[in-house]
Chains A and B, each alone.
Chain A
Amino acid sequence: MSATTKTLEEVTTRDYEAGFVTEIEQDTVPPGLNEDVIRLISSKKDEPEWLLEWRLKAYRNWLEMPHPTWAHVHYPPIDFQAISYYSAPKSNEDRPKSLDDIDPKIKETYDKLGIPLYEQEMLAGVAVDAVFDSVSVATSYKEKLAEKGIIFCSMSEAVENHPELVKQYLGTVVPHNDNFFAALNSAVFTDGSFVFIPKGVRCPMELSTYFRINAANTGQFERTLIVAEEGSQVSYLEGCTAPKRDENQLHAAVVELVALDDAQIKYSTVQNWYPGDENGKGGIYNFVTKRGLCKGDRSKISWTQVETGSAITWKYPSCVLRGDDSVGEFYSVAVTRGYQQADTGTKMIHMGRNTRSTIISKGISAGHGQQSYRGLVRITPKAENARNYSQCDSMLMSDTCGAHTFPYIDCQNPSAQLEHEATTSKIGEDQIFYCKQRGISEEDAVSLIVNGFCKDVFRTLPMEFAVEAQKLMEITLEDSVG
């Protein structure tokens, strides 16, 4: 993370930290979910009536929906009544007193990533007052964005200050009843990010959520909405490479992107939530719905994700290519080790004419990790001359891990051109020996080979993210060959 993005994020979350967190300090909602809880959330946030109605509609739909079981992941049933849907930040007594109280493995990783102490404490939720003293820099960034008419704020702020925009776009890409987890999120989302890039504006910097979730336990049901008006461009970074400790096991986020004519949105994620210990105990369940709508002609949405964390990942960042000549891209590196399970991929829905999509998925499994690529390419009847290229490569690093590929193709227009390539390889003892024979250590050899394997994806990441991602892979896969 560069100083720039870091500072930017410090800035853009400052108000949010101060405002939102203090506001709810006194509140504790007991576990359980019912309409009253949703009304409470909505009223705490001073939401307009339409939003409450929308939440309730989502909730009522959710009640009727079965818990999905089609993904290739296994976990005990989730008791949704045992979760608190609106919790105040932990009081200092409940938090770790210092970094000595956290899992030494996490601490070790922080050190290896070279994360400064104060950031480590913040990531680990240590009871300290993190002070980032960069108000002047902050202000200048805020001004810079405002000058261009860009809105980048928390979802709560957006609801308060730009209700018409939120109302216009919220739920237009991922409807309130889209799927089980999206419906749950729609009912109870607490916060997230809102980005609006006005017509013709190129966002002058990468927007990042790096520090947002650290503010409080708001990461559990995040809701993010990015709207790029005609001819605008934005690159958005989500997450960070440091493993973050979190009290909430279940995470069900929703991200919606809307690109109008000639607009471009690039959304990059590095996800490294706590994966559980080496026996597969604990760890985050990450059930995410991410979808982008290429609404306008010649619009482009590009997803890049590096997924190394979470015990369970269930995630399919998708593109709906409605505009003619629109482009969708999905670049993914997913790593499962220990007892991690990931079922991830994408959907490319071609609706407009001359739409193009690219899918590059790289899966790496080590230890007892289980990984599935699940992807759908759909060409609707009116999508003349649609093209898709899919490449799904899996690398196995042990004899106990698994890689699975579930590619679905639904082609209803004969003019479409679809290509699918898939490979599965075991990281070669002979490759490692070859490197060693040239003087390269085993550790460096593994990282070299793995980074080579992931290169097509890493090169789509913004520079500083790419460097971090490579480092993360090295650390994640240390001692993984077996």
Chain B
Amino acid sequence: MALLEIENLHAAIDGTEILKGIDLAINPGEVHAIMGPNGSGKSTLAKVLAGDAAYEVTKGSVRFNGDDLLEMDPEIRARVGIFLGFQYPVEIPGVSNTYFLKAAVNAIRKHRGQDEMDAMEFLQLIKERAQTVKLDDALLQRPVNEGFSGGEKKRNEVFQMAVLEPSMAILDETDSGLDIDALRTVAEGVNAMRSEDRGFLVITHYQRLLNYIVPDRVHVLLGGKIVKSGGKELAEELEETGYAMFGEQAA
């Protein structure tokens, strides 16, 4: 059974249809990349999967571990294992990164019938995970994303992912705004988390990230539809030819 199974997904915002029939199945252990030009619907797909109420699903279905994902509230989706690394992470003034993550970890644990995590154990965990993504310890005590540089924000997203250990991680343009070193660190963080029971959906504009996070499948999204799927060589092909090979829509 696929981990995530998207069938004929249509979604609209303010009455404008953005996704026009997406079909995609991700098995545990697989890394899928979605590429496409601006406005092709990449971020919309990510937000719809995470349950952003601004978008309306007009048609189709999404199954996660066989369950109807679209039926679930966003926080439930998170608790059953969906993680979205935001393209533009928001700031939450006055709430420390640590406190925020602790609330998240315990909400997820509670949902799974586990006890709250012991404070010491938790601190140990975040310290260790911060190291994997080379996140400055000082950022743990700072308010969530407040005053973070673009790179720090993205790193913080990957850090949160590492702490929350989702079974399905969606990374929305996590590479944008990163210099090459930051990109490499972020990719290392993701690679360290690759495992046979975890799926990834990596959304990116550029092929560059995929040099570091080597995908099992690459999909080209255009005009709200997947127009081509292939192996990792498709990304390289795109790098050479650009989206123009798909004709008018890509212009």
Residues of A within 8 A of B (CB): 428-431, 433-442, 444, 448-449, 451-456
Closest 5 CB pairs of A and B: A452-B94, A452-B95, A438-B104, A455-B94, A439-B78
Q: How far is the CA of A174 from the CA of B88 in the complex (A)?
A: 52
Closest to B164 in A: A438
B13 within 8 A of A: no
**Residue in contact with A431 in the complex, picked from B53, B90, B111, CB distance below 8 Å:** B90
* A448 contact set on B, CB distance < 8 A: 92, 95, 99-100, 103
Q: How far is the CA of A441 from the CA of B103 in the complex (A)?
A: 10
B residues 57-112 near A (Cβ < 8 Å) are 73-75, 77-79, 83-84, 86, 89-90, 92-95, 99-101, 103-104, 107-108, 111
Do residues A439 and B164 form an inter-chain contact, with CB atoms below 8 A?
yes
Task: Please name 8 further chain A to chain B contacts, defined as beta carbons within 8 Å, in addition to the given A437-B74, A438-B160, sorted by A numbering.
Answer: A437-B50, A437-B78, A437-B84, A439-B108, A440-B104, A449-B95, A452-B94, A453-B94
B143 within 8 A of A: yes
- Among B74, B84, B86, B100, chain A packs the most CB atoms within 10 A around the CB of B74
Do residues B75 and A453 form an inter-chain contact, with CB atoms below 8 A?
no
* B116 contact set on A, CB distance < 8 A: none
B52 within 8 A of A: yes
Do residues A433 and B94 form an inter-chain contact, with CB atoms below 8 A?
no
Q: How far is the CA of A438 from the CA of B100 in the complex (A)?
A: 9
* B52 contact set on A, CB distance < 8 A: 433
With both chains docked as a complex, state the minimum distance between the C-beta of B237 and any C-beta of chain A, in angstroms: 33
Closest to B103 in A: A440
Q: How far is the CA of A437 from the CA of B89 in the complex (A)?
A: 11
A440-B107 contact in complex given A433-B74, A434-B89, C-beta closer than 8 Å:
yes
Do residues B89 and A439 form an inter-chain contact, with CB atoms below 8 A?
no
* B54 contact set on A, CB distance < 8 A: 429
* B86 contact set on A, CB distance < 8 A: 434, 437
Q: How far is the CA of A403 from the CA of B143 in the complex (A)?
A: 25
Q: How far is the CA of A434 from the CA of B75 in the complex (A)?
A: 10
With both chains docked as a complex, state the minimum distance between the C-beta of A448 and any C-beta of chain B, in angstroms: 6
Question: Which bracket fits the contact residues of B?
Answer: 20 to 34
Do residues B75 and A442 form an inter-chain contact, with CB atoms below 8 A?
yes
Do residues B107 and A444 form an inter-chain contact, with CB atoms below 8 A?
yes
* B93 contact set on A, CB distance < 8 A: 452-453
With both chains docked as a complex, state the minimum distance between the C-beta of A277 and any C-beta of chain B, in angstroms: 30
B residues 146-193 near A (Cβ < 8 Å) are 160, 164
With both chains docked as a complex, state the minimum distance between the C-beta of A116 and any C-beta of chain B, in angstroms: 26
* A436 contact set on B, CB distance < 8 A: 51, 73-75, 78
Closest to A362 in B: B94
- Among B79, B86, B103, B108, chain A packs the most CB atoms within 10 A around the CB of B103
* B78 contact set on A, CB distance < 8 A: 436-439
A-B contact pairs, 5 of them (CB 8 A): A433-B74, A436-B51, A444-B103, A451-B94, A456-B94
* B95 contact set on A, CB distance < 8 A: 448-449, 451-452, 455
With both chains docked as a complex, state the minimum distance between the C-beta of B224 and any C-beta of chain A, in angstroms: 22
With both chains docked as a complex, state the minimum distance between the C-beta of B55 and any C-beta of chain A, in angstroms: 11
A439-B111 contact in complex given A431-B90, A433-B52, A453-B94, C-beta closer than 8 Å:
yes
With both chains docked as a complex, state the minimum distance between the C-beta of B7 and any C-beta of chain A, in angstroms: 23
* B101 contact set on A, CB distance < 8 A: 438
Q: How far is the CA of A310 from the CA of B51 in the complex (A)?
A: 38
Q: How far is the CA of A384 from the CA of B79 in the complex (A)?
A: 59
With both chains docked as a complex, state the minimum distance between the C-beta of A440 and any C-beta of chain B, in angstroms: 5
Do residues B143 and A452 form an inter-chain contact, with CB atoms below 8 A?
yes
Q: How far is the CA of A435 from the CA of B51 in the complex (A)?
A: 12
With both chains docked as a complex, state the minimum distance between the C-beta of A106 and any C-beta of chain B, in angstroms: 29
Closest to B83 in A: A437
* A440 contact set on B, CB distance < 8 A: 75, 103-104, 107
